[in-house]
Amino acid sequence: MVCEECRKRPAVIHITKIVNNRKTEAHLCQECAQSRGELTFVSPTAFTFQNFLAGMLQHSQATPTGPSVETPTAYCPNCGFSYNQFKESGQLGCSVCYEHFQGQIKPLLKRIQGSVAHTGKIPSQHGVAIECRRQIEMLREQQRTAISQEKYEDAAKLRDKIRALEKELQETKERDGR
């Protein structure tokens, strides 16, 4: 099939339009489709991850969910990366950006990752304290369940465990001078 516009090059773009129940078809080559403006809806970068991300960021700003969605402070204090740069590139500047732009990043992470709570590996340098906190959290949860089921003996045992861990956590902090 040749292009119906120039009648020279082969038609590679096939457009079917339905406007007010009237169907029209067009068969064009790349060049003619471009010049007729028929290609504006298939920009080659339309479906890159960055573009989706930018779209999501704009969208989440349009629906305020609390004070955290105020216009972010323009620049990261550590690397000078701006929030606009993030919107354009889909990447952050440094680890401090996550903290600085957290009001915007957390809702976004929730949407793309489905979660904002890391439950995996902990680097050894951060290890002891975080592992302690995580265990305390878990034991508290078990304690609540025990109380709601009126298993008070179990709850008391759990309380003692939590106290011991809290003490350990305190000691770790003092030892590391944190």
Partner 1 sequence: MGLKEAANKILCRWMKGTGPNDNIVVGSRIRLARNIAKVPFPATASEGQLAHVGDLVRMATVANGQSNMDYLAIAEMPRLERELLVEKHLISPQQTRDVKHKAVVLGRDELVSIMVNEEDHLRIQSICPGFQLESAWEQCNQVDDTLGDSLEYAFSPELGYLTACPTNVGTGLRASVMLHLPVLTMTQQMQRAIPAINKLGLAVRGLYGEGTEAVGNVYQISNQLTLGHSEQEIIQHLATVARQIIDQEESGRKQLLEVGKAQLEDRTYRSLGVLSQARVISSQEAMQLLSEVWLGVDLGLIKELDPKTLKSLVVLIRPAHLQKIIGKEMDTGERDGFRGDLVREYIRMGAKEKDSELKEGES
| 75 binds partner 1, rule: CB under 8 A | no
* 138 lines the binding site for partner 1 (CB under 8 A): no
Binders of partner 1: how many residues, by CB under 8 A? 35
Give SS3 for 38: coil
Amino acid at 95: S
CB of 145 to partner 1, least distance (A): 22
Asked if 98 touches partner 1 (CB under 8 A), the answer is yes
- Beta carbon of residue 2, minimum distance to partner 1 (angstroms, whole number): 29
- Residue from 40, 66, 69 nearest 57 by CA: 69
Among 20, 123, 148, 174, binds partner 1 (CB under 8 A): 123
How far is residue 44 CA from its own chain's centroid? 24
Please give the radius of gyration of the chain, using alpha carbons only, rounded to the nearest integer: 28
What would you measure as the largest C-alpha separation in the chain, in angstroms?
88
Residues 9-48 that bind partner 1 (CB under 8 A): none
Q: Binding of partner 1 at residue 122 (CB under 8 A)? A: yes
* Phi/psi of residue 144, nearest 5 degrees: -60, -45
Strand pairing class (22-28; 13-19): antiparallel
Q: Identify the residue among 17, 118, 140, 167 touching partner 1 (CB under 8 A).
A: 118
Residues making contact with partner 1 (CB under 8 A): 49, 53, 78-79, 81, 89-96, 98-99, 105, 108-109, 112-126, 130, 133
